[in-house]
Amino acid sequence: MADITSRAYSYLGDAVFELCVREYLVLECGISDVQELNDRAKEYVSASSQAELMPLISPLLTEDEDKVFRHARNKGHTPVSKNINAKQYRVATGLEALFGYLYAEQRFDRIKELFAVITKERSER
């Protein structure tokens, strides 16, 4: 790991995860209606959604990936929204940090691999 903080990985990962969602909805799902795109994106990018998605990929994480996730999750950030609890917020922060870490390490195939698991599992529900 480079000299990047968990918060910085989370910040970067927020954008990376959002881009994955947008690419998926537009390019793979073929959605072009902006309202529908926004509605569907919320199923992935809200902190409560991310907290629900993390268990789908956590069994697949390498030791280093899990370490990044746990470190960010355990930082004890306080949620700013009243719609989620602190545990959900921390898990979402960990997921974002994981995607930020993978991006910083230029592990783009791994990002796609993990995101594909998320979308596959989500579509089967």
Q: What is the pLDDT of residues 34-74, one digit of tens each?
A: 999 999 999 999 999 999 999 999 999 999 999 999 999 88
pLDDT of residue 40: 95
Top pLDDT among 25 and 81 is at 25
Find the catalytic residue in 14, 33, 39, 66: 14
- Copy the structure tokens of residue 67: 């370490």
Question: 3-class SS at 74?
Answer: coil
Nearest to 11 by CA among 96, 110, 91: 96
Question: Catalytic site residue 66?
Answer: no
C-beta separation of 97 from 71 below 8 A: yes
Question: What domains, with CATH codes, occur in the chain?
Answer: 6-123 (1.10.1520.10)
* C-alpha to C-alpha distance for 69 and 83, rounded to whole angstroms: 22
pTM: 0.91
